[in-house]
Amino acid sequence: MSPHQRFVEHLSADALDATDRAHAAECPECRPLLPREAPSTAPASLEAIHARSVEALRSAPVRPWRRDALLLAGVNAVVAVGATAALGEARWRVSTDARPRLLLVGALLFGTLTLGGMAALAPRRRHSLLYLVLALLLPVGLVFAGDGVMSPLSTMQALPCALNVVVIALLPLGAALLLLRRMAFDGRRAAALALASGATGLFALHWHCMDGTALHLLGFHALPWLSLAAVAVGLRRLLPTESHVP
């Protein structure tokens, strides 16, 4: 079998070897029939991709997380104190016997609304989880601070309490959502910041609302607060993310 015949046979069987290619390189009749080899592009190694990613993170300006946490704490504190001054401290003035409990739970509420940013934005995720566990104990604290005395309010008259929880928290919650857009979505982080922002309304009502029954405190104070946090987490999931850095 001649080299020409061997080349044609191997070409039809898609079994060209080095000898066939060497013959085609010299034969003017077989050279046009020689298939062209696609240039091989070796995929980038994982090590090279990781090195470029690390370098990009190092060169990108990073905003200190403590600065954002202090900013949120300041916004929450100003809103909470301002709302308390606007609504008044009727419950504090009347409930003289329950003042130690009011002070204790009030301090817990203030810690919730100011320390939530620190717990949520801290690099270690365990802080946000611990904060969520402690924050969910707030409804128990609200009932503990209540004196059990029901004011003569109907359900419609008690609705402003729930509305106050939502309205007072709008500004802090908006600031928290704007901040959360700058980082990758994290359910724990979003829930912690939402609970901290919503606690501003709880703090103001804590000193104002005269209805100390467990039913009112849980239904018109704690429930709107938890519902607002759940809605905020859903909104954060829908909002576009500016940066996927954790």
pLDDT tens across 160-207, in order? 999 999 999 999 999 988 888 887 788 888 888 899 999 999 999 999
Report how many helices (DSSP H) and strands (DSSP E) the chain contains, helices first: 12, 0
Judge whether 109 and 203 are in contact, CB under 8 Å.
yes
Q: What pLDDT does residue 128 have?
A: 77
Q: What pLDDT does residue 18 have?
A: 80
Tokens of 59: 């060169």
- Other beta carbons within 10 angstroms of residue 165's beta carbon come to 25
Q: How far is CA 93 from the centre of its chain?
A: 39
CA neighbours closer than 13 Å in the CB half-sphere of residue 192: 29
Q: What pLDDT does residue 47 have?
A: 74
Task: Collect the ranges in the chain with pLDDT lower than 70.
Answer: 1, 4, 8, 34, 36-45, 53-54, 56-63, 96-97, 125, 148-153, 243-246
> Of how many residues is the chain composed?
246
Q: What pLDDT does residue 187 have?
A: 83
Amino acid at 28: P
pTM: 0.70
